[in-house]
Amino acid sequence: MTVLMKVVVKAIPAPATQPLRHLILRPNQPVDECIYPGDEDSGTAHFGAFLEGKLIGVASIYNQSLEGEGSPDVWRIRGMVTLEEMRGRGCGGRLLEACFDHAQSHNGDEIWCNARTTVMGFYERFGFRKQGEEFDLPGIGPHFVMVAKLDGDLNLPAGSGAVREYTLRATH
Ligand SMILES: CC(C)(COP(=O)(O)OP(=O)(O)OC[C@H]1O[C@@H](n2cnc3c(N)ncnc32)[C@H](O)[C@@H]1OP(=O)(O)O)[C@@H](O)C(=O)NCCC(=O)NCCS
């Protein structure tokens, strides 16, 4: 029998992302390293996935070009995290889609991220393709820039900024 769980994805304030960023992405760095440039910018959005009120995943999207500048069309994903025991159930994908939807609703055309080589398959699953050469982020590891085009038809329930409820499988 497939056991299901209800997961809510909604916008959250920037500071709410920091505990999961710290726990999973930067456990060996000071928690201040989990405050990213642009976290509080007006165009930035942060999303959380909740299971029975507990935060189980986060993702953020910034209006930033590869060169780090504000750009109307180009958006950056950062801080993409699902709790280890919750992976493989669809939470990461739903968070990524909330980011796509935010960018698209702001006329975004392209999304990029610095993808850890360990999770490139996750990004490829959502249309990202690697660009350029592998590079190392000190203390974190090997990465590729990955880029996805927004094609205009995400077909997501409700609109950007909505609270979305999903029924996902509870085991994988
Ligand atoms: C990357 C991460 C957020 C994915 O979260 P998740 O909740 O497991 O993702 P989902 O369950 O929504 O997976 C969506 C799809 O991607 C696939 N996928 C997930 N992680 C994958 C990986 N590491 N490699 C290949 N495919 C992967 C899943 O199999 C699933 O495919 P399906 O829809 O065909 O079944 C999670 O693994 C994580 O937090 N990793 C550690 C932190 C990290 O490295 N973050 C990225 C920094 S760049």
Q: What single DSSP character describes residue 97?
A: H
- pLDDT of 158 reads 53
Q: Write the burial class of residue 121 (CB in 10 Å: 0-12 exposed, 13-18 middle, 19+ buried).
A: exposed
User: Measured between alpha carbons, how far is 24 from 113 in angstroms, rounded to an integer?
Assistant: 17
Cα(119) to ligand 1 centroid in Å equals 6
pLDDT digits (tens, 9 = 90+) for 15-70: 999 999 999 999 999 999 999 999 999 999 999 999 999 999 999 999 999 887 76
Task: Answer whether 63's CB lies under 8 Å from 41's CB.
Answer: yes
What is the rounded distance in angstroms from the CA atom of residue 97 to the CA atom of residue 148?
12
- How many Cβ atoms sit within 10 Å of the Cβ of residue 110? 16
Residue 94 alpha carbon, nearest atom of ligand 1: 12
Complete domains list, the chain, with CATH:
4-169 (3.40.630.30)
User: Roughly how many angstroms between the first and final C-alpha of the chain, as a whole number?
Assistant: 12
pLDDT in tens, 101-144: 999 988 899 999 999 999 999 999 999 999 999 999 988 999 99
pLDDT at 1: 77
For residue 161, the model assigns a pLDDT of: 66
Ligand 1 pocket, mutate which of 56, 119, 134 (most atoms under 8 A from CB)? 119
The model's pTM is 0.94
